[in-house]
């Protein structure tokens, strides 16, 4: 086959890069949204997915109707750049076909840029570098949404010289990381040499170029991989407590189709859980999967890959992020599906065991719904999703004086959580605390905590949360 008669699915594209390089802003510019404005402290703390239909991409790139695009759209995955969220970067990059590494042109390669490049090298995922914030170059003349070559022609000699110099710097830094790279419009070996696309997420220069590269270059280099197959391939991205739907999982459907009512097998530490899809939800096109609110989800009878899908079903409480979701279609063997889940679970468990074995921790237990390790003396942590819970616990571990964790939970803080935290009152009083990130505390839980002497700390960024707790500890020690 020459590839023209194939049905291609949307490529899955992960956005990676250092803190504040402009990952979310780039997506906002493309979606004409303001997800960034809704983020506490302008920090992305949750992995997300957005579907961009090809019609919108055509419009943004002013493509003539006769120019063929072989893919139905793009599924983009935004990730956090902050250090503690490496779990989400790993999850995003490992299920993606391609990545965009966003680099701030005024700063060059930074810590998490290099971490991202390592991830991509390791997982063998091809990528494009978006050299962002070109509008910050001194003297830049804005050309809203213009193709980059046109925008550059409009600049003074000084700006063009500055631009050249900075591109050369970044090319050298990429070389040091083991990658040959070139401005995409000067790149003669686009199959081997990494493409650099200068962009501005504020005024939109280079955005058409970036979108065009994604929808034209990507299918060209990976037509096999993007060929739609009906065998379901689906990965759990996040486990959430939703006030309307109960426990839900955010998944990325990589191949095949899901139907409402489908029997599914999810991986939990206790073993496979077999259940049925109650609701099959997606955000509207150009909307972010992770953004909560009334009426933001579209209900479906069927969803076809590639898509970001929210699934509501019984028994999802202990699902593990990063594992495969297995679908049992009519005629499929349930036992075989469950065996596949057992295999998947054993892979994860062995990962945990190989991970970091800490000699000093006694009574290490792995939290029931994740790879989280807890110990007998420590604080209680609560977060809206498994991924954020993991990120906070990771952050607590990396502090100059690490803070141990004795228990954790997803969703609002209830009385039972407070009761669990009271066990520290006798063991280690300063750890009789709940670190509640971005979750509600129900009034009864507040009352009980006040009576019992459990301190509850609340904040909307993991950094503020941990700061307020460490301030408290420092005061106790003074
Ligand atoms: P994290 O998710 O926290 O890692 O950050 P991010 O990479 O998503 O960056 P974000 O989109 O939050 O942007 C960081 C800051 O840079 C914000 O204040 C943006 O408005 C600004 N910014 C992003 N892109 C551009 C750009 O192209 N030009 C200019 N001038 N500012 C930008
Ligand atoms: Na940011
Ligand atoms: Mg962001």
306 preceded by a cis bond (ω within 30 of 0): yes
pTM given for the model = 0.92
Q: Are 297 and 347 in contact (CB under 8 A)?
A: no
Pocket of ligand 1 (CB under 6 A): 17, 19-25, 36, 42-44, 80-82, 102, 132-133, 135-136, 200-202
- In the chain, the percentage of residues whose pLDDT exceeds 90 is 79
pLDDT confidence tier of residue 351, bands split at 50, 70 and 90: low
Label residue 356 by pLDDT band (50, 70, 90): very low
pLDDT tens digits, residue range 427-467? 999 999 999 999 999 999 999 999 999 999 999 999 999 99
Q: What is the mean pLDDT of residues 150-159?
A: 98
- 325 CA to centre of ligand 1 in angstroms: 33
Q: Which range is least confidently modeled, 134-148, 225-239, 307-321, 341-355?
A: 341-355
82-116 pLDDT per residue, tens: 999 999 999 999 999 999 999 999 999 999 999 99
From the CA of 81, how far away is ligand 2's center (Å)? 7
Provide Rg for the chain, Cα atoms.
23
Residues in CB range of 161: below 8 A, 6 or more apart: none
Burial of 175 (0-12, 13-18, 19+ CB in 10 A): exposed
DSSP assigned state of 288: B
Per residue in 208-261, pLDDT tens?
Answer: 999 999 999 999 999 999 999 999 999 999 999 888 889 999 999 999 999 999
Comparing 30-39, 46-55, 370-379, the range with the smallest average pLDDT is: 370-379
Report DSSP letters for 37-75, one per residue: GGSGGG---S-EEEEEEHHHHHHHHT--TTS---SSEEE
CA 255 to centroid of chain Cα atoms: 19
Report the atom number in ligand 1 closest to the C-alpha of 82.
4
Task: Write out pLDDT tens, residues 265-279.
Answer: 999 878 999 999 999
Question: Which of 15, 18, 25, 141 has the most ligand 1 atoms within 8 A of CB, as the residue to mutate?
Answer: 25
3-state helix, strand, coil in the chain (%, to 5): 35, 25, 35
Task: Tell me whether 0.95 is exceeded by the ipTM.
Answer: yes
Between the alpha carbon of residue 394 and those of residues 9, 95, 145, 350, 374, the distances in Å are 35, 22, 39, 19, 12
384-433, pLDDT tens digit by residue?
888 899 899 989 998 999 999 999 988 899 999 999 999 999 999 999 99
């Amino acid at each position: 086959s020459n590839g023209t008669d194939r049905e291609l699915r949307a490529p899955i594209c992960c956005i990676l890069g250092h803190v504040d390089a402009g990952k979310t802003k780039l997506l906002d510019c493309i979606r004409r949204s303001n997800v960034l404005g809704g983020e506490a402290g302008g920090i992305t703390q949750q992995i997300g997915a957005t579907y961009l239909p090809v019609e919108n991409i055509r419009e943004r790139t002013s493509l003539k109707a006769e120019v063929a695009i072989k893919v139905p759209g793009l599924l983009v995955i935004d990730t956090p750049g902050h250090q503690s969220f490496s779990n989400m970067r790993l999850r995003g990059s490992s299920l993606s076909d391609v990545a965009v590494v966003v680099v701030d042109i005024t700063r060059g390669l930074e810590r998490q840029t290099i971490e991202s490049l390592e991830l991509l090298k390791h997982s063998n995922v091809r990528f494009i570098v978006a050299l962002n914030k070109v509008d910050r170059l001194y003297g830049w003349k804005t050309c809203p949404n213009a193709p980059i070559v046109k925008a550059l022609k409009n600049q003074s000699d000084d700006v063009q010289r500055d631009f050249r110099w900075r591109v050369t710097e970044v090319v050298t830094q990429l070389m040091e990381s083991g990658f040959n790279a070139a401005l995409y419009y000067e790149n003669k070996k686009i199959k081997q040499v990494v493409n650099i696309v200068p962009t501005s997420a504020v005024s939109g220069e280079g955005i058409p170029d970036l979108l065009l590269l994604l929808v034209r270059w990507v299918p060209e280099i990976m037509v096999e991989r993007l060929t739609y197959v009906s065998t379901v391939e689906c990965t759990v991205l996040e486990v959430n407590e939703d006030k309307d739907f109960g426990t839900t999982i955010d998944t990325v459907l990589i191949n095949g189709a899901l139907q409402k009512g489908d029997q599914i097998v999810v991986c939990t530490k206790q073993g496979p859980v077999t259940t049925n899809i109650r609701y099959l939800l997606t955000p509207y096109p150009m909307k972010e999967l992770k953004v909560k609110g009334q009426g933001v989800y579209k209900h479906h009878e069927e969803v076809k890959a590639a898509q970001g899908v929210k699934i509501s079903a019984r028994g999802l409480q202990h699902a593990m992020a990063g594992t495969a979701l297995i679908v049992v279609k009519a005629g499929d063997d349930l036992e075989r599906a469950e065996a596949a889940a057992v295999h998947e679970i054993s892979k994860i468990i062995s990962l945990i065991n190989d991970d970091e074995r800490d000699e000093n921790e006694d009574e290490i237990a792995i939290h029931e719904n994740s790879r989280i390790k807890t110990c007998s003396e420590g604080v209680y942590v609560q977060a809206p999703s498994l991924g954020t819970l993991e990120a906070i616990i990771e952050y607590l571990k990396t502090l100059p004086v690490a803070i141990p964790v004795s228990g954790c939970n997803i969703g609002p803080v209830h009385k039972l959580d407070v009761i669990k935290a009271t066990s520290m009152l006798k063991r280690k009083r300063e750890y009789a605390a709940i670190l509640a990130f971005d979750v509600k505390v129900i009034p009864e839980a507040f009352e009980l905590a006040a009576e019992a002497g459990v301190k509850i700390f609340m904040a909307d960024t993991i950094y503020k949360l941990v700061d307020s707790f460490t301030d408290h500890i420092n005061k106790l020690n003074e």
